[in-house]
Structure 1
Amino acid sequence: MVGWSTSHKNLNQFDFMVAGGISGFITRAICQPLDVLKIRFQLQVEPISENAHTAKYRSVPQAITLILKEEGVKAFWKGHVPAQWLSVSYGVVQYWSYEILVRNVSKNLDISPHWIPVVNFSCGSIAGSVATLVSFPFDVVRTRFVAQSEHKKVYHTMLSATIKIYQTEGPLVLFRGLWPTILQVGPHAGAQFMFYRMFHDLYNRISKSESTTFTSSVFAGSLAGLCAKTVIYPFDLVKKRLQIQGFGYAREQFGQHFTCRGLTDCLKKIYKIEGPWGYFKGLSPSLIKAVCTTALHFSSYEMICKFLVLIREKS
């Protein structure tokens, strides 16, 4: 199971990196359309409501229909290449660092069972923060691809987009929104790992089983994703708003453009213009995505680890 356990004793650091990278790739390939929907909602200043006639996107079904009509099915995989780089690099670093941290804590410290959730949360938070720092430029480029209009494309390839952002806006722009992201991802990753272990143990108690199965991983992962995403969602929205600053010229067909001068200014302007519910725009597709991606991420990681264990035992 995720975290130090006897089932992982034959796996080395490279195995954890491979499993994390593959699980990130699989999850991104399947769930990318949900991410596109979430980002489109997060970047919209106008209210998200069926009665908001000035808004471009008013509901999940309406948004799906409109994107298909205006941009075609390929639009749901906009920014997929940088998104894959983001997911693979994040998965590699996150699972590797988490497994190593938990393994060392388990070996070197006599931890009471009551403190296990705290250990999982702490190790998960550190792992998520390190993975975010490594993979963040891919997130900025991915967001720009999803945000741009099909009728006024600014970026065409990941490499050209990175070079253009670097040349016209400076290298630090590739890390714009990093601070709210760390504030978001640290607790989010920690909560994911903590809730995953808690729900996995709950499932095993109910089913009277001690093994890790695909079903137990999906059950624990989906609930962990739901709980963790709800808690940190406003920081995710603020991050997206910061990542498109200076990019309004490519979003003329998406309604009012949001401008701000940093984290504090962003939080104040969202509240002033959109009200407190503005911090939760796109929450519905985001929760759907969180349930699907977290369940898929953990279950695919677990199955890959089990497969690698079998290979180690046969070799």
Structure 2
Amino acid sequence: MRFVVAPLDVVKIRLQLQTHSLSDPLSHRDLQGSPIYKGTIPTLKHILREEGLTGLWKGNIPAELMYVSYSAIQFTAYRSVTIGLQTAFGENRIPAPVESFIAGASAGALATATTYPLDLLRTRFAAQGAEKVYPSLLASIREIARNEGPRGFFQGLSAGVGQIIPYMGFFFATYETLRLPMGTLHMPWGSSDATAGVMASVISKTGVFPLDLIRKRLQVQGPTRSKYVHKNIPVYKGVFNSMREIFKNEGIRGLYRGLTVRYESDGMSAMQTLTILSLLKSAPASAITMWTYERVLNILLDMEATAKAAAG
């Protein structure tokens, strides 16, 4: 699944890093050779034309490593925190949505902090144009360590944690709230879990998207900032400074680049809404993740019950 949606991830990152407005021609003065992306399909075409097919999978290796590690840490921590809360306060003493929020937020924060260097590498590779900034994954690690030090691998971590705590908290709280009612609908192939995952993802992702955008802008700060495909990325210092600067220079829409994607087809002057790129990417992944999580959890619980019965 991660491999399939990787091109959408690259497009989303390119749009998030684009600082110039499409509706204001005056903002095009300082492009410094940066491309002008106008939506999902034109961006895909531009990358294919300028960078070839492999350009759509830039950063996929660190992304694959990140998602495998992130999922393992996230679900282990979520289950552990849930059991810990039930042990400390007793079962059903904490409202289910609150318990899910605490467990989800804790798991998300731990997983984000642990895998953050891979997330940063994914963003920097996806931000590369036809001209490579880093020739390989190992070379990027060596260069960042030499030129930026250990802190270089954690640029924008505060935005990442600030985003993931409410995101995962609301995601699991929404998911657990919807899962049981939707289970009564008897949807085929256990798809009620997947449907609840999609709805939880859409609600949560939309709410925290500005912090995701800020995280991407901060991840490309440093000595290589002007070498990526967007060569006019401003200097940002911290989450709140970034939010003020983006809002001042790009308006409220600037904080949502890559969420609502607009597409201008050939021969048309009117802008038309094409898709919600980030949601298109994350919702199916969340659906599959939660469907798999519930299936695996049930298998493990059955194995545990069988083992206890055999021991008894």
TM-score with structure 1 length normalisation? 0.82
Q: Is the 8 A contact 1:41 1:48 kept in 2?
A: no
Q: Which residue of structure 1 lines up, in the alignment, with residue 142 of structure 2?
A: 163
Deviation at 1:70, TM superposition (A): 1.5
- Of stretches 93-102 and 107-116 in structure 1, the one that deviates more from structure 2 is 107-116
Across the aligned residues of Structure 1 and Structure 2, the Cα RMSD in angstroms comes to 2.6
Larger fraction in helix: 1
Please tell me the residue identity of whatever aligns with 1:250.
K
Q: Is the 8 A contact 2:226 2:232 kept in 1?
A: no
Aligned residues with identical type, % of pairs: 32
1:195 is matched with which residue: 155, 168, 174?
174
Q: Equivalences for 1:96-107 in 2 at 5 Å?
A: 96-107=76-87
1:285 matched to 2:265? The reply is no
Q: Which residue of structure 2 lines up, in the alignment, with residue 245 of structure 1?
A: 221
Residues 1:182 and 1:76: Cα distance change in structure 2 (over 3 Å): same
Larger radius of gyration: 2
Please tell me the residue identity of whatever aligns with 2:67.
S
Residues 1:220 and 1:102: Cα distance change in structure 2 (over 3 Å): same
Quick one: higher RCO (CA 8 Å, sep 6+), 1 or 2? Answer: 1
1:235 is matched with which residue: 211, 216, 222?
211
Q: Which residue of structure 1 lines up, in the alignment, with residue 43 of structure 2?
A: 63
Please tell me the residue identity of whatever aligns with 1:125.
A
* Alpha-carbon separation, structure 2, partners of 1:146 and 1:102: 35
Deviations 1:113-142 (A, max 9, x none): 771100000110011001111000111111
1:300 matched to 2:292? The reply is yes
Q: Is the 8 A contact 1:193 1:224 kept in 2?
A: yes
* Alpha-carbon separation, structure 2, partners of 1:206 and 1:274: 44
Deviations 1:252-273 (A, max 9, x none): x435322222222211110111
Q: Which residue of structure 1 lines up, in the alignment, with residue 154 of structure 2?
A: 175
Q: Is the 8 A contact 1:124 1:189 kept in 2?
A: yes
Q: Which residue of structure 2 lines up, in the alignment, with residue 22 of structure 1?
A: none
Deviations 1:77-99 (A, max 9, x none): 11111111211111111100101
TM-score with structure 2 length normalisation? 0.83
Q: Secondary structure at the match of 1:254?
A: coil
Deviations 1:236-265 (A, max 9, x none): 0000000111223322x4353222222222
* Alpha-carbon separation, structure 2, partners of 1:66 and 1:303: 40
Q: Secondary structure at the match of 2:185?
A: helix
Q: Is the 8 A contact 1:46 1:255 kept in 2?
A: no
Please tell me the residue identity of whatever aligns with 1:190.
G
Q: Which residue of structure 2 lines up, in the alignment, with residue 121 of structure 1?
A: 101
Deviation at 1:105, TM superposition (A): 2.3
How many residues align structurally? 284
- Of stretches 197-206 and 217-226 in structure 1, the one that deviates more from structure 2 is 197-206
2:244 is matched with which residue: 259, 265, 268?
268
Please tell me the residue identity of whatever aligns with 2:17.
L
2:67 is matched with which residue: 87, 105, 120?
87
Q: Which residue of structure 2 lines up, in the alignment, with residue 8 of structure 1?
A: none
Deviation at 1:221, TM superposition (A): 0.8
Q: Secondary structure at the match of 2:21?
A: coil
Structure 2, unaligned runs of 5 or more:
29-34, 260-275
* Alpha-carbon separation, structure 1, partners of 2:179 and 2:101: 15
Please tell me the residue identity of whatever aligns with 1:243.
Q
* Alpha-carbon separation, structure 1, partners of 2:212 and 2:19: 15
* Alpha-carbon separation, structure 2, partners of 1:50 and 1:202: 47
